[in-house]
Structure 1
Amino acid sequence: MADIKPYTIAIDEERLNDLKTRLSLAKFPDELDEAGWDMGSPLADVKRFVKYWQESYDWRKAEAELNSVPHFVTDIQCDGFEPLAIHFIHVRSKVKGAIPLLFMHGWPGHFQEVLKVLKPLTEDGDGVNYPAFDIVAPSLPNFGFSEGPKKRGFASEQYAETMNKLMLKLGYKEYVTQGGDWGCHISRALAHLYPQYCKATHLNFNSANPPSYFTNPILALQHAILPYTSREQRGVGRSKWFDEQGRGYNSEQCTKPQTLGYALADSPVALLAWIYEKLHDWTDSYPWTEEEVCTWISIYWFSTAGPAASVRIYYETTQNVDGRKNKLDHQGLRAWSPGVKLGFSHFPMDIQVQPSTWVRTLGNVVFEKEHESGGHFATWERPDDIITDVREMFGKGGGAFGVVKDATGYAS
């Protein structure tokens, strides 16, 4: 289509020089003796990354690698809001009958997370026994190289509307999704609002309530009388840690994102420390390299809407719910969604690790797989596990096999 345009990531030299200047002028806090990760990002780590980012890191090399896959941009307009230029990766499989898959990131992630699974999912498969996929991996509004709205009220309903309109604009009348974190929540919103288009979702994040005897009597009985599996027992401890020690960022972003935004927009060191804490704490001992971390943070620093914009999704989704059309706050997203098949990959070091009886309250769960390792950024940490699970869920014999009847789309 004419208004779907190729996009090339190209950060100008002025912004690169500004970043290096700001890094060179960084003022670091002191640190208590024997301070550990429990107090936040350690001083030595942050100094090491800042030095590398300023003196050794090559954004142009990273930029070229990011541009090695096809990027596009197109305007999408939600009801009541201005049109937004939405950036996305789109790779069409050459395999006949490939399944359109909308890959959605969360915070503090971005579109880059798809790169480790992109080639295997699009190029492999025979379209019958072994599925192949058309992949659409957008920068969510306010993230990466997508624009963000200027008006208040852009919440889960609008993120879902944007994603659904993008897929329809690409010609996909039916599609499936994959996501964790906000990608999970937006998948849930799509399941509630657009079940005629979004036919199934594969999630690597748990966000559900315990079963109730009033709404899920069988699951509630199972939850009451059956002992937790070893995975579920470990998950109780992990979820307790997050609720008691890891939710500080969430409270700030849900209530006062503007105040936090000044630090994120003005200081690359503050942005680095804020996000790197999550890259460390939410993964399963993943060996982050300086190159990976600097590229990850640079995408936020150079983002179209600015790094402060990304945290607004928390406020907009949790506040002023009564004035919203569909009122899809977190509790609304946890309601049963009929007609859309669900699959879950459980990773032990995610930030919420819930029992199977909980996630089965969300809808028709046709696939579940538990893994011995992995955390919140599963597609980046354990890409082979995500590839295997998605293929199993949508392949012949899988619970979501044949769920997409109309897989045609326009070549962008």
Structure 2
Amino acid sequence: MSEKPFKVAVSDADLADLRLKLKLARFPDELEGAGTAYGAPLADVKRIAAHWRDTFDWRACEAKMNELPMFTRDVEVDGFGALNMHYIHQRSEVEGAIPLLFCHGWPGNFLEVRKMLPLLTSASPDHPSFHVVAPSLPGFVFSEGAHKPGFNGWKYAEAIHKVMIGLGYNEYVYQGGDWGHIVGVYVVNKYGHKHVKAWHSNMPIYRPPSLLWNPLLCLELLTMPFNSTLRQTLDSFMDVRKRGTGYLAIQSTKPQTIGYSLTDSPVGLLGWIYEKLAVAVDDYPWTDDEVCEWVSLYWFSRAGPAGCSRIYYEVNGGLAQGDPFKGTKRTTVPLGASYFPRDPLRLPESWTSLLGKVVFESRQPKGGHFAAFEQPDALAGDLRKMFGKGGPAFGVVPGHSGYSAVSYGS
């Protein structure tokens, strides 16, 4: 289907409705000294809600977003018909740039890539350049969502892959974190080698090792009493599983129920999203404008604020503790991994090999869950090292080295 330029254009009526709802908002009380233990702090949510209502300039954000090269196109997803997909497509001036599919997560969005765009697309004899495609996942922000059940991980993979094929990128590389990583596992399983030549993750998690298939990794667990790094990593991950996944259980089992609140109450949506923004970063100084912009994208999203929640149900099979990687397996597609110390969803680095053929690893000194937004230079730098001259994935896309013919030959 043909590509159409896209501009964000929220109506005055929708903005007025949002401000009215914020004006009429009711807030819960809060226990003394609760901090973040019970969820998003009342003082923070009140402050941001007031800013959203009274001083936040959506039109300025909208204008800045519209400077990005955004488009939509219909893609046919088997069994679900045509879905209208939204995406950024930022080409490099280097014709031999590497096509890169960048995929966001929740509660992130396509803007996660914005700070990296000038880094990834710049031309230099010292590092590779990329043609960057950053879609909104189906049901997120400005992409159309599925209209019937069963839109699982394979379907999300098919939708974003077909955006690349529609753009003429039959061979490309991939980068993702959060849902971008999980969907990436499906993309690589389904389209690896033929289309996806290599991939990179900043949240390289997978199923835990099994004694039958991964005996050495299982034996490594016996060293926990003496291996403080292994012990601390697993203890931290399990603590997050026990204390920080209430949203996961709800959205994986009853997304429709929570959807009524998220769709009708902007304060409810703000609290739901802000809790994760606040705790999943490495001291990143979120501005109230940044928070309001991200939450507004969900509020004004095409499928509604609840549309994105269904990815949890579909990929986890309606189970609170489902397997989001069901049906996938380890691949031999070259894999790069960047480890950011404050990402709450970290597993032992040795387990990354369960995903595939690890050819590149980087341990960053700072950064959390939203690596592209928090540490764009670090993440872009890792991609340059992985795909640049001398890197383990240099030249994986035939005819697209990432360098101009002059600089490549120099």
TM-score bracket, shorter-length normalisation: over 0.9
1:196-345 superposed matches below 5 A: 196-220=194-218, 232-319=230-317, 329-332=323-326, 335-338=329-332, 340-345=333-338
1:266-311: CA deviation from partner (whole Å, max 9, x where unpaired): 0000000000000011111211111100001000001111110011
Q: In 2, Cα distance between the equivalents of 1:253 and 1:25? A: 26
2:103–2:177: 8 Å Cα contact kept in structure 1? yes
Which whole-Å CA distance do the structure 2 matches of 1:229 and 1:25 have between them?
54
Once the 2 structures are TM-superposed, how far is the Cα of residue 337 of structure 1 from its aligned partner?
Answer: 1.4
Aligned residue in 1 for 2:406: none
Give how far 1:332 is off. 3.1
Output aligned runs, 1:103-182, within 5 Å: 103-126=102-125, 130-182=127-179
Cα-Cα RMSD: 2.0
Structure 1 CA distance for aligned equivalents of residues 184 and 392 of structure 2:
18
Q: CA deviation at 1:241?
A: 2.2
Q: Flag structure 2 segments of 5+ consecutive residues without an equivalent.
A: 402-410
User: Which residue of the partner structure matches residue 354 of structure 1?
Assistant: 347
1:75 counterpart residue number: 74
Corresponding position of 1:183: 180
In 2, the alpha carbon distance for the partners of 1:149 and 1:354 equals 32
Moved over 4 A (4+): 217-233
What is the deviation of 1:130?
Answer: 1.7
Does the CA-based 8 Å contact 2:206-2:354 persist in structure 1?
yes
The TM-score normalised by the length of structure 2 is 0.92
Q: In the alignment, residue 41 of structure 1 is paired with which amino acid?
A: A
Query: Could you say which residue in structure 2 is the equivalent of 1:325?
Result: none
On the 8 A contact 1:131/1:391 being kept in 2, the answer is yes
Q: Does 1:193 align with 2:187?
A: no
CA separation of 1:223 and 1:356: change in aligned 2, threshold 3 A: farther
The percent identity for this pair of structures is 49
Question: 1:348-396: per-residue Cα shift (whole Å, max 9, x none)?
Answer: 2112211122111111000111122211111111111101111111111
Contact preservation (8 Å) 2:253, 2:318: no
Distance in 2 (CA, whole Å) between partners of 1:221 and 1:97 is 45
- 1:332-411 map, 5 Å: 332=326, 335-338=329-332, 340-407=333-400
Deviation at 1:199, TM superposition (A): 1.3
User: Is structure 2 residue 12 aligned with structure 1 residue 18?
Assistant: no
* AA matched with 2:298: Y
TM-score (norm 1): 0.92
Which one-letter code corresponds to 1:174 in the other structure?
E
Call closer, same or farther: CA 1:231–1:294 in 2, change over 3 Å. farther
Taking the aligned partners of 1:201 and 1:334, their CA distance within structure 2 comes to 16
Confirm or deny: 8 A CA contact 2:100 2:131 kept in the other structure: yes
The amino acid that maps onto 2:154 is E
Counterpart contact for 2:251–2:309, Cα < 8 Å: yes
- 2:309 is paired with a residue of what secondary structure? helix
Matched-pair contact (CA < 8 Å) for 2:189–2:328 = no
Instruction: Write the distance in 2 (CA, Å) between the matches of 1:179 and 1:20.
Output: 34
Are the equivalent residues in 2 in contact too, given 1:173–1:407 (CA < 8 A)? no
Q: CA deviation at 1:260?
A: 0.3
